[in-house]
Amino acid sequence: MSDIVSLGQPTVGDEELKAIAEVFASGWLSGAGPTCAKFEKRFAEITGTDDALATNNCGAALHLGLTVLGAGRGDEVIVGDYTFPATGHSVAWTGATPIFADIRSDIWSVDPAAVEAAITPRTVGILAVDVFGQPADYDELQAIADKHGLWLMEDAACSAGASYKGRPAGSLADIATFSFHGRKGITAGEGGALTTNRADLANHARKLHTYGIAPALSREGSADLPIPNFDELGFNYRMSDVAAGIMLAQLERLNTLVQSRQRVADQYGTLLADIDGVQAPVALADRVHPWQSYVVTLDATVDRGKVAAYLKAHGIQCNFGTYASHVQPVYGFSGHLPVSADLFMRHLAIPMHANLTEDEVDRVAGTLRAAMAS
């Protein structure tokens, strides 16, 4: 069999190795150090926000954000249903209940009408998901939040480099959270970030993410011996300075990586247009889609498992899209969300990353065409 075309692949090289060497030379490898501070400053600039906080993963950033927004036992948080369960889990970690809302059939983010219909007296906030990186409908969601006195949070796990009506992902809600997992558009292998324009939330999050005290960097160089007091139960959600060094190098690549993924998406859009039973994903004109994944929708009559097996047998990696969270037994959710449930069974992710060549994209599309005809 010929070489495998990978589903996802990071773009890393000498720049990242140089960044790691610089962190090693600094002598500060642990979390929340000077390299993290540099990364946070640069990431805040890129996301158009006042504050960014580096975390060890996106789940930590989600939990931290929900905590400082005040979610807790007895509360309900409306969550876009079509997402990796880290989104729903993070709500449950606070003691609140995730109430899943159905999604748009075209871009798969939460349907604002479904959000409004799900509001009860126990609702405290809305957690929207930028599915595969394309931002949700934040103008409509903010209007609903304002009308009902709720906060709004953006799960931007896949959204680095995205924008909505000219505003960068990360700046579209009270708090946003990002992932730098190995499958994301920019990566340190693992890692995350929280962004916000609210100083009260940023200060509280920074305190809680280091066990409930100011990080050691704030005491570096002090002439006396400051001893912090623990007056609030916090967590250890810090990103290491090693990961932050990698992320600084990745931020320099961000625009180029998004452009490369757009090139791949454009090529797929042309090649897949006439394959019966396959629908290419929709990218709205008022948003910049960073294409963390490329997910096609198969007709309901198509055997997705058979198509996937054919692709894999011919060296093309693939996967399902993401999860219809409401059907996962861990949540005990009693409702039925038909759009999300349907797409969960019909979506197929095909290779998408910035390193794909034109020949590889041609090969993926040709193999998918053959799979559909077999």
Rounded distance between C-alpha atoms, residue 241 and residue 262, angstroms: 31
* Residue 288, beta-bridge partner list: 163
With beta carbons less than 8 A apart as the criterion, state whether 175 and 194 touch: yes
Is-contact 98 330, C-beta < 8 A?
no
Per the CB < 8 A criterion, the answer to whether 213 and 229 are in contact is: yes
Phi and psi at 301, nearest 5°, equal -80, -10
Task: In whole angstroms, give the CA distance from residue 297 to residue 318.
Answer: 13
How far from 136 is each of 77, 91, 210, 289, 312, CA to CA, in Å? 17, 19, 31, 11, 32
Quick check: is 184 catalytic? Answer: yes
Cα–Cα distance measured from residue 318 to residue 103, given in angstroms and rounded to the nearest whole number: 23
* CA-based R_g, the chain, Å: 21
Q: Mark out the alpha helices in 70-209 (DSSP H runs).
A: 86-93, 112-118, 138-148, 199-208
Q: Which of 38, 41, 184, 312 is catalytic?
A: 184
Closest of 312, 286, 280 to residue 298, by C-alpha: 280
Structural element, H or E, at residue 288 = strand 287-288
Residue 116: its H or E element: helix 112-118
Contact 250, 343 (CB under 8 A): no
140 Cβ partners below 8 Å, 6+ apart? 112
Q: Which residues are catalytic?
A: 184
